[in-house]
Amino acid sequence: MKLSKVCELLDAEILCCEEGLDTEVKSACGSDMMSDVLAFVKDQSILLTGLVNPQTVRTAQMMDMKCIVFVRGKRPDEAVVSLAEENGIMVMASAYRMYTACGILYANGLYSEGIDKV
């Protein structure tokens, strides 16, 4: 799925790195716990989260993720968006809640790769 489709499905606003809209992604993960993202996530390209501190960007960066979607109407501050921009990570903001946002992407074919159990 292209990030442009993700944006459309989540009715999201793009906050930076719009040039990445053509990027193809194959999986995503949703979490507010960065510890768990670092421990259990593998090769996911999108991080959906309601946590808006700079560590969401750092976590996405360490995991080579392409895009962060801030859910349930959360808005990161300028510094967080700038950090993402510096690292080429697209940032979107969606008003959907985490459960709904993940459900929409999953229902439209963005599955996690492999067996998604820890």
Return the DSSP state at 23. -
Residues 6+ apart with CB under 8 A from 66: 3, 20, 23, 25, 45, 46, 89, 90
Residue 64 engages another protein in binding (rule: CB under 8 A): yes
Site string for another protein, 3-32 (x = CB under 8 A): -----------------------------x
Q: Of 61, 82, 100, 112, which lies in the binding site for another protein, with binding defined by CB under 8 A?
A: 61
Question: Could you say whether residue 85 binds another protein (CB under 8 A)?
Answer: no
Stretch that binds another protein, among 13-21, 52-60, 89-97, 107-115 (CB under 8 A): 52-60
Q: Does 34 bind another protein (CB under 8 A)?
A: yes
Pairing between β-strand 90-93 and β-strand 13-16 as defined by DSSP bridges: antiparallel
Q: Taking each helix axis from N to C terminus, what angle separates 78-86 and 54-62, rounded to the nearest 10 degrees?
A: 20
Stretch that binds another protein, among 10-18, 35-43, 93-101, 104-112 (CB under 8 A): 35-43
The single residue among 79, 99, 108, 111 that binds another protein, judged by CB under 8 A, is: 79
Q: Going by C-beta distance under 8 Å and a sequence separation of 6 or more, which residues neighbour residue 76?
A: 15, 52, 56, 70, 91, 93
Is 107 near another protein (CB under 8 A)? no
